[in-house]
Amino acid sequence: MPTLTNEIITAAIRGFEEQKREIDEQIKGLRSMLSDGTAQSRDGGSASRFRRKMSAAGRRAIAEAQRKRWAAKAAASPEAPPKPKRKLSAAGRAAIVAAAKKRWAGRKAAAKAGKS
């Protein structure tokens, strides 16, 4: 094995540091693609954050277009009259009450039989 001199070791360190810098730059580029540049970089520096602002005229144009779409949809499907509300007859209500009482009586009898 050849002997390593200080000059060879220093040159190797410089070469590895340069490779490390290149790899760090590539990682930074990939991270910015992944997060669209909104995340902070690992080395502590923050990436620029940019929020678009819409003008009042732009908001008005979008609102007007949406109102136009709603109007077109409302005109295409005329509103149907609401269905009449269903009502429970007195006989139907009495049948439900009787069934509930019968069910509770059965449960009470089963509970009483279980205690004896």
Segment 21-45, tens digit of pLDDT? 999 999 998 888 887 655 554 555 5
Indicate whether this model's pTM tops 0.75.
no
pLDDT of residue 4: 81
- Give yes or no for residue 86 having a pLDDT over 80: yes
Which pair of structure tokens corresponds to residue 10?
Answer: 């220093």
Q: Determine the Cα–Cα distance for residues 37 and 111; give it in Å rounded to an integer.
A: 68
Provide mean pLDDT across the span 91-96.
Answer: 96
Share of residues in the chain with pLDDT > 70 (%) = 86
